[in-house]
Structure 1
Amino acid sequence: MLRFPPQISGFFGSVALLLVAATGARGDIVSDWNALALTAMTGTDSPVVAHDLAILQVSMYNADQSIEGTYATYGYGAYPAPGAGPAGADYQAAMIAAANTVMQNLYSGSSSSFTTLYNTQLSGIADSQAKTDGIAWGVTIANNLLSARATDGSADAASTPYTPVGTIGYWQQTSAAGALLPGWGNVGTFAIAGTGAYMTTLPGGSVTSYLQSSQYAADYNQVKDLGSAFSLTRTSDQTNQAYFWAAGDGTVKMTGMWNQIAQTVATNAGLSTADTARLLATLNVAMADASTTAMATTYDQQFWRPETAIANGDIDGNASTNVDVSWAPLITSPSLPEYVSLNATISEAAATVLASYLGDSVSFSLGSDINGDGSIDLTRNFTSFSQAATEAAMSGVYGGTQFQTSVADGQIIGYNVANDVLANNFAVVPEPAGTVLILCGALFLLGVRRRR
């Protein structure tokens, strides 16, 4: 049964997952690789960032947990969960080797940076058979996952043929850029059993039905008012939110921003290496599958952007939408259909994962590179993950690129996908003593039943 996010239903139904206290180093190994990966991925589109970071973080997680065994190793589809690693192998060496193997494969153009981090981290581990075994095991873990994902469709997503419908209500290109990743909805998922169960449709089930509805009129007039480049009703804070979360070209994009949040809160909470790896693996798997679902929905529905809609308000069949041919959005529209909001979907998935592990009421700050020049232009402070997710989602309305319905439905997708990932992956391995007690209890009940 589908569940609804707190912004929609008013009830945060996610089951809290307790972090197991683990001994060992802090999560610096994991965060360092994540941060360097984001540097290499700057300018890469959000779905690709989540996809590639999921491969990176799952490799590190599996390299660790196949040796430490605190949490269940990850497996899905053509990639079976790995069994126990070599006895006595160094788990940190395994994680470092796995990370380097993944990044050298996916981003060979930054090879020297990865090699430098690899050598630096390994130099802190004394040479031994445990280190040697750990390195070899990490390479094996990474190569197995890379092999399983090599045919997942991500390599062909950008070149998938796509021609806009071009009629009333359907997306029309708003820039010279081609359609963004039109085949990404066909990319293999990491954890959910396909995208179909999570995809949504426009209200009324069709473009025409939505266009003629009062809901569309409300969405239309809201974004026309708040999202205009020269809006007189949008507050200065709403303008800041629009710019802050725009995640345009030359930035780490929306998935990268949520990874930066995760790195910050993991460090502030003092999470161990194991818990940091688990958090980031869960986060990126959830964002990857949420992105794929959103992209599948986007190219299935093919709805037009506000700037096209408002320029054609006189021919959309709705008497409550007044045309304005000079209207322009505050933020440049992304080059893909409008419904559903990719940023809202990603953000809700991320916030759901982070709140499940750490509780929602966590304070943090985040800086944003607004113009893509590599420097922080604006910093915002938050008191909860849900607050940040709501801001990120609504920034599309304030920026004039999204309708409210698109935002709300994107949040539903992100929330449901994240909860599926949380419920079925990265679980705590039961303590042996607990398993024995459960077995003894079952045998006792069986004996009682037989005596009856």
Structure 2
Amino acid sequence: MRTRPRASVALGLTLALAPLLTASLVLPGHTAPEPRRGVGREVDSNAAAVAVAWQRIAVRTVYTEGALAPPVGSLYLSFTSLAVHDAAGEALQRGHTSETAAVATAAHDVLWEYFKSPASRANLDADLAASLATVPDGPAEAKGVRLGRAAAARMIASRVGDGRDNASIVYSKPEAIGIWQPVPGGAMAAAWLGFVRPVVLDSTVPVDGPDALGSAAYAADYNEVRRLGSTASAERTQAQKDIALFFANNPVSMYRSALCTYLDAHPLGLLATTRLFARIDAAQSDTFIRTWRLKYDLGYWRPFQAIARAADDGNPATAPQPGWTPLVANPAYSDYPSGHGSATAAFAEVVRLTLGESTPLLLKAGLLERPYANLSALEHDALHARIWGGLHFRDGMEDTYVLGHETAHRVMTLID
């Protein structure tokens, strides 16, 4: 149903609400204490830069060495960022503690627990040694290491039995019009993800579901992606094609790398830095979890399946197009909502509410670069990229942005 606001309207609401989201509650189990009272600056001036460096290390460990899919990898980034934020807050509160040692050890220990290859662990050990080498030896360093280890241990213990990698969860829906099916012999990728215990949310964000196949809204979305999303589209411009192919890269790592570069030039204090990444990662992970459950439960078909069987969808305003293939290869899960949109909307909303709408980010994918002067422009291109690439209907993309934005708002109130 097209009862929700379009993405542009949702973005306007987001900006209007931003000043209202300044007060935060503390997430139970992930307490981030206030910095020491009466201290005008953080003692360890290097700690914020080290926290950013460990975000880059986490991306390398999770996505380059671990080769995880973006939604699954997002879980481990959130575990890392929450432990780091916990360690940073406690180190600042207690005093006489190396904040650098605390955040580096927390990040190291979480990643070391989950990524067990000899190469990853050797790299993590070397990274930790490099971080600690910047800290004077002594009680402050030792105390920071202890605090970091304790924060990591709490996080790891809190996620035992959370539903990850449950191979018994298998997507299986009878073949029918409007229902997504994996390729013969295939399966839904990471079907278990929708059943994982959320990282911070304690309730689900509602969405109104896909458009009915017989509706005018569905026909409009169908014909848009049919015209613009195929490998042979004569209506899609070269600029649209370039955007579609650019955003076919891992959005989680692409956005995070751009943010790290921004923070290199516009550094924040330690707690502001760790809070920002904890909120981004929790919002992305919990949006992914909700998205995957909806993909599993609804199983709404992808455009390439819809276009092949349009003669049977009961909508007189749609027509099949033999031989239609999407510009970008479709992943092994259903259309609604969008995984890519989950990463984009959650990230952009947290950054918008924290740093402002006009936060400039330079996205990089291999040798390609795309600069964005504001977050709405980034979201616009990322949303349309999935239509121009033939992967999603507009309805699924716009609903995902509503889902990601609302999840970000809720996370902002839960992580202080």
Q: Output the TM-score relative to the length of structure 1.
A: 0.82
Distance 1:262 1:379 in 2: 14
Q: Hey, what does 1:15 align to over in structure 2?
A: 18
Deviation for aligned residue 1:176 = 5.8
Determine if contact 2:245/2:389 at 8 Å carries over to the other structure: yes
Tell me the alpha carbon deviations over residues 161-181 of structure 1, each in whole angstroms, 9 at most, x when there is no partner.
Answer: 222332111002247642111
Kindly indicate whether residue 49 of structure 2 is the aligned counterpart of residue 28 of structure 1. Answer: yes
Q: Hey, what does 2:130 align to over in structure 1?
A: 120
Percentage identity across aligned positions?
Answer: 25
Distance 2:329 2:185 in 1: 12
Deviation for aligned residue 1:56 = 0.5
Tell me the alpha carbon deviations over residues 113-132 of structure 1, each in whole angstroms, 9 at most, x when there is no partner.
Answer: 10011001101111111111
Q: Hey, what does 1:48 align to over in structure 2?
A: 72
Q: Hey, what does 1:304 align to over in structure 2?
A: 301
Tell me the alpha carbon deviations over residues 142-171 of structure 1, each in whole angstroms, 9 at most, x when there is no partner.
Answer: 011101112111232x55222233211100
Determine if contact 2:201/2:410 at 8 Å carries over to the other structure: yes
Q: Hey, what does 2:221 align to over in structure 1?
A: 219
Q: Hey, what does 1:184 align to over in structure 2?
A: 193
> 2:369 aligns to what SS in structure 1?
strand
Q: Hey, what does 1:237 align to over in structure 2?
A: 239
Residues 386-395 or 303-312, more deviating: 386-395
Deviation for aligned residue 1:39 = 1.4
Determine if contact 1:165/1:171 at 8 Å carries over to the other structure: no
Q: Hey, what does 1:105 align to over in structure 2?
A: 113
Tell me the alpha carbon deviations over residues 406-442 of structure 1, each in whole angstroms, 9 at most, x when there is no partner.
Answer: 011001000100001112321xxxxxxxxxxxxxxxx
Matches within 5 A, 1:199-278: 199-203=207-211, 210-247=212-249, 253-278=250-275
Q: 1:408 to 1:53 in 2, by over 3 A?
A: same
2:340 counterpart (338, 343, 349): 343
Matches within 5 A, 1:420-431: 420-426=410-416
Q: 1:117 to 1:97 in 2, by over 3 A?
A: same
> 2:312 aligns to what SS in structure 1?
coil
Bigger Cα Rg:
1
Distance 2:355 2:184 in 1: 41
Determine if contact 1:22/1:275 at 8 Å carries over to the other structure: no
1:91 counterpart (99, 104, 107): 99
Deviation for aligned residue 1:286 = 0.7
Determine if contact 2:47/2:103 at 8 Å carries over to the other structure: no
Residues 125-134 or 270-279, more deviating: 270-279
Distance 1:201 1:117 in 2: 45
Kindly indicate whether residue 88 of structure 2 is the aligned counterpart of residue 57 of structure 1. Answer: no
Q: Hey, what does 2:148 align to over in structure 1?
A: 138
> 2:17 aligns to what SS in structure 1?
coil
Tell me the alpha carbon deviations over residues 314-373 of structure 1, each in whole angstroms, 9 at most, x when there is no partner.
Answer: 1111111111120000000110011111211221111000011110112221111xxxxx
Kindly indicate whether residue 407 of structure 2 is the aligned counterpart of residue 397 of structure 1. Answer: no
Amino acid at match of 1:425: I
Residues 218-227 or 269-278, more deviating: 269-278
Query: Structure 1: 5+ residue runs without aligned partners?
Result: 70-84, 204-209, 248-252, 369-375, 427-452
Residues 38-47 or 139-148, more deviating: 38-47
Kindly indicate whether residue 361 of structure 2 is the aligned counterpart of residue 364 of structure 1. Answer: yes
Q: 1:357 to 1:233 in 2, by over 3 A?
A: same
Q: Hey, what does 2:29 align to over in structure 1?
A: none
Q: Hey, what does 1:290 align to over in structure 2?
A: 287
Alpha-carbon RMSD: 2.2
Amino acid at match of 2:181: Q
Distance 1:4 1:353 in 2: 20
Determine if contact 1:360/1:385 at 8 Å carries over to the other structure: yes
Kindly indicate whether residue 65 of structure 2 is the aligned counterpart of residue 37 of structure 1. Answer: no
Distance 2:56 2:185 in 1: 32
Amino acid at match of 1:414: G
Deviation for aligned residue 1:26 = 5.9
Deviation for aligned residue 1:57 = 0.8
> 2:358 aligns to what SS in structure 1?
coil
Equivalent pairs, count: 389
Q: Hey, what does 1:162 align to over in structure 2?
A: 171
> 1:179 aligns to what SS in structure 2?
coil
Distance 1:397 1:332 in 2: 12
Query: Structure 2: 5+ residue runs without aligned partners?
Result: 24-34
Tell me the alpha carbon deviations over residues 169-205 of structure 1, each in whole angstroms, 9 at most, x when there is no partner.
Answer: 100224764211112111111221132x4344223xx
Q: Hey, what does 1:446 align to over in structure 2?
A: none
Amino acid at match of 2:78: A
Distance 2:69 2:169 in 1: 16
Q: 1:47 to 1:199 in 2, by over 3 A?
A: farther
